[in-house]
Chain A
């Protein structure tokens, strides 16, 4: 199979993951890529995605795996980019023998967001706390959540905030953290200005970029 790293930026950041899958599959058809189908009663394309970013958040590190034949990875990337809506550009492609199940192996993501004003260093204390409760919205209900075990790093550099947050089975939504920071520290960081910059795998106590692990 071929795995792609692609962007999800600008207008498509407002497209839900369910819809993105459809966008990707239609793009493959337009690109005339010979995708394999499942053998079930209703055959479907054998494609795999990574853990999605929240609606409105942009990403430079989305992964998309495709079981296909008769095409090399560079040609795949070229045709894919010619067949996708603006904002869905692929930047890397590589082979894997079988589905690596990226959604299951990724345990953290890096995010970067720029604010219109300088940010307080006080924000970094979130990562230093033993426990830190914020309000999060869970199925329409606001609940308190201790995010301290899920914030692996948080750094402020003038107007830019970089975060490493739990992703996957233990998951911390970056938009929940930013909403909290906006409320608590009087910032005006826009959710749409958040970029996921990398997806990471925990390896012997440290984090490695998922792409590095897979390649």
Chain B
């Protein structure tokens, strides 16, 4: 394999993606009973940036008797070379044929990666559907954020891990080692796996509760992480301050899925940050979470980490700061000359509907402070097509942009201010109060985008928008049932891969795939009835359906729900683990 690879590596773009050899590579030669391959459904530079798979990779390699390797979706030029040379998809570390591993795990991060599951299985020489794979193939499992609704891709997998991999992947690997020792069949292993927390076996259709870590502070977190030899998307080290989000924005799947809210202690985080800086040599450290400014001791944390970072000439990055808790003094130190805000909706009315608890005054105060500190670039993110949205709300987006310009004129320290406005199209995602909503028709998406294109023709303002057609397919894939899997395979056969890369996305092929496989995709774009059984209802994610429904009704009344930092709103997620532990 290694010799054959030599021939093809110089025929493909960026060969460094396929050879491994990164600094901090775990010992691949240690004695092991279980060899696991973690597959990521996107390119190396995306996969290597993902903190979830990074944690799981090192966690397994730090487990006695287990060796874990990686495999990323090869670019199309590499896939072509593999096929020409009759080579199977291989692991990065030891260049082993992936189907020879004891267990294969796929991380599914995003709906538009579904065709890459078929693409990678095809390159591995493994049948697409679990039902077509006998004992000669290892168990193939999936995890990652898309398991909120695993149904559209469940037929590809023997098991789907629902929840936090630090808990259920570790348990599953231990169980598999045990079953291997006892020479049990794959079927027997899967039957036993249903007894674990957060393991859904599609062939058994077992009801499942999400696996949740009770104490995040004590959870495994690697600080001796792989440092890539070539540039990746997020080329920095990252610490995760807390998991979950207290804000309850009604469109946000992550905000509900990652509950309960669990913080790491300041001491723990400072230790992780220091170790990461020393072990990686990265010149940037990101303090990550869904809403960083909600971390209870942010000031103390930033001050202590900054002291260590300054010594090492490392820059801190604080993504996901909320507009309302924007702290100018933190900003002044950290961010430099660019600022990203996400008001999400243009008017207070619509922000109340989506429960984005930011007032006009918050926007005014925060932006004024930022401009006084000399911000030169402001990025504003909005969502179009939200429930109850009217043209007045779109005009609200334009008004916010004009307001920023006025504020800059009045208070701005920098001479020039560039404003970038980005809009995405609303996708009613599972496990949100808006899961019952319909997506707006594609014509309406275009009309709204045209409205903004016309009205944002303002000097030094750039408007960019998310592709409407990709949003339609994303909605179908997010909300679909098992029937979607056959359309995914057909779409792949028609040439759809790397759909999340806009240059590769082909709407017409997707529609053809739905039609040829008789999948009524439009029914997943329409709204669901409130008493209807939803495709993902078999999964108990923690947050109660009745709570989501209550939130939906409050949305239509334009009433907000405060964040749950001060007082529990009773969403139900704390049945798995106590919030704010």
Question: Which residues of A line the B interface, CB within 8 A?
Answer: 10-12, 14-16, 18-20, 22-23, 25-30, 32, 37, 55-56, 83-87, 190-193
Given A19-B16, A19-B231, A190:B23 Cβ within 8 A: no
Given A29-B312, A86-B21, A192-B9, A15:B229 Cβ within 8 A: yes
B230 engages A16 (CB within 8 Å): yes
**Stretch from B277-285, B352-360, B447-455, B502-510 that touches the partner:** B277-285
- Tell me the minimal C-beta distance from A129 to chain B in angstroms: 27
Residues of A within 8 A of B231 (CB): 18-19, 22
A12 engages B21 (CB within 8 Å): yes
Alpha-carbon gap, A25 to B283, bound state (A): 10
Q: Mark B11-47, 1 if CB is under 8 A from A, else 0.
A: 0001110111111010000000000000000000000
Residues of A within 8 A of B312 (CB): 29
- Tell me the minimal C-beta distance from B291 to chain A in angstroms: 30
Cβ 8 A contact of A19, one of B18, B23, B230, B278:
B230
B9 engages A28 (CB within 8 Å): no
Residues of B within 8 A of A29 (CB): 281-283, 312-313
Among residues of A, the one whose C-beta sits closest to the C-beta of B15 is A14
Among residues of B, the one whose C-beta sits closest to the C-beta of A35 is B313
A191 engages B10 (CB within 8 Å): yes
Residues of A within 8 A of B281 (CB): 25-30, 83
A30 engages B280 (CB within 8 Å): yes
- Tell me the minimal C-beta distance from B118 to chain A in angstroms: 28
Q: What are 28 A-B pairs with beta-carbon distances under 8 A? A: A11-B19, A11-B20, A11-B21, A14-B9, A16-B16, A16-B230, A18-B231, A19-B229, A20-B229, A25-B281, A26-B227, A26-B280, A26-B281, A26-B282, A27-B281, A29-B281, A29-B312, A30-B281, A32-B278, A55-B15, A56-B10, A85-B23, A85-B25, A85-B227, A85-B229, A190-B7, A192-B6, A192-B9
Among residues of A, the one whose C-beta sits closest to the C-beta of B283 is A29
B278 engages A30 (CB within 8 Å): yes
Alpha-carbon gap, A37 to B283, bound state (A): 13
| Highest count of chain B CB atoms <10 Å: which of A18, A55, A85 | A85
Alpha-carbon gap, A193 to B18, bound state (A): 18
The 5 closest A-B pairs by CB, nearest first: A26-B281, A11-B21, A29-B281, A11-B19, A30-B281
Alpha-carbon gap, A55 to B229, bound state (A): 14
Residues of A within 8 A of B6 (CB): 190, 192-193
A23 engages B229 (CB within 8 Å): yes
Among residues of B, the one whose C-beta sits closest to the C-beta of A22 is B231
- Tell me the minimal C-beta distance from A37 to chain B in angstroms: 8
Interface residues of B in 121-136 (CB under 8 A from A): none
Among residues of A, the one whose C-beta sits closest to the C-beta of B5 is A192
Among residues of A, the one whose C-beta sits closest to the C-beta of B279 is A30
Alpha-carbon gap, A176 to B297, bound state (A): 59
- Tell me the minimal C-beta distance from B262 to chain A in angstroms: 31
Residues of B within 8 A of A30 (CB): 23, 278-281
- Tell me the minimal C-beta distance from A49 to chain B in angstroms: 15
Alpha-carbon gap, A37 to B282, bound state (A): 16
- Say whether chain B's binding surface is mostly helix, strand, loop, or mixed: loop
Residues of B within 8 A of A18 (CB): 231
Residues of A within 8 A of B279 (CB): 30
Question: Which residues of B line the A interface, CB within 8 A?
Answer: 6-7, 9-10, 14-16, 18-23, 25, 227, 229-231, 278-283, 312-313
Alpha-carbon gap, A12 to B16, bound state (A): 7
Residues of A within 8 A of B22 (CB): 85
B278 engages A56 (CB within 8 Å): no
Residues of A within 8 A of B10 (CB): 55-56, 191-192
A85 engages B21 (CB within 8 Å): yes
Among residues of B, the one whose C-beta sits closest to the C-beta of A31 is B281
Residues of B within 8 A of A191 (CB): 10
Residues of A within 8 A of B278 (CB): 30, 32
Alpha-carbon gap, A83 to B283, bound state (A): 15
Among residues of B, the one whose C-beta sits closest to the C-beta of A44 is B283
- Tell me the minimal C-beta distance from B226 to chain A in angstroms: 10
- Tell me the minimal C-beta distance from B308 to chain A in angstroms: 13
Alpha-carbon gap, A65 to B432, bound state (A): 56
Q: A23-B23, A56-B9, A85-B21 are in contact. List 12 more A-B contacts (CB 8 A).
A: A11-B20, A11-B229, A15-B230, A20-B229, A26-B280, A26-B282, A29-B312, A83-B281, A84-B23, A85-B229, A191-B10, A192-B10
- Tell me the minimal C-beta distance from A86 to chain B in angstroms: 6
- Tell me the minimal C-beta distance from A182 to chain B in angstroms: 12
- Tell me the minimal C-beta distance from B537 to chain A in angstroms: 47
A10 engages B9 (CB within 8 Å): no
Residues of A within 8 A of B16 (CB): 14-16, 19
Residues of A within 8 A of B9 (CB): 14, 56, 192
B23 engages A56 (CB within 8 Å): no
- Tell me the minimal C-beta distance from B231 to chain A in angstroms: 6
Alpha-carbon gap, A190 to B2, bound state (A): 13
Residues of A within 8 A of B15 (CB): 14, 55-56
B229 engages A12 (CB within 8 Å): yes
- Tell me the minimal C-beta distance from A183 to chain B in angstroms: 15
Among residues of B, the one whose C-beta sits closest to the C-beta of A24 is B281
Among residues of A, the one whose C-beta sits closest to the C-beta of B18 is A14
| Highest count of chain A CB atoms <10 Å: which of B7, B19, B282 | B19
- Tell me the minimal C-beta distance from B10 to chain A in angstroms: 5
Residues of A within 8 A of B229 (CB): 11-12, 15, 19-20, 23, 85
- Tell me the minimal C-beta distance from A194 to chain B in angstroms: 11
Residues of A within 8 A of B14 (CB): 16
- Tell me the minimal C-beta distance from B70 to chain A in angstroms: 14
Alpha-carbon gap, A14 to B280, bound state (A): 21
- Tell me the minimal C-beta distance from A187 to chain B in angstroms: 14
- Tell me the minimal C-beta distance from A79 to chain B in angstroms: 12
Residues of B within 8 A of A193 (CB): 6
- Tell me the minimal C-beta distance from B285 to chain A in angstroms: 12
Alpha-carbon gap, A84 to B229, bound state (A): 10
Alpha-carbon gap, A192 to B9, bound state (A): 9
| Highest count of chain A CB atoms <10 Å: which of B18, B227, B279, B312 | B227
Residues of A within 8 A of B227 (CB): 26, 85
Alpha-carbon gap, A190 to B280, bound state (A): 33
Residues of A within 8 A of B230 (CB): 15-16, 19
Residues of B within 8 A of A26 (CB): 23, 227, 280-283
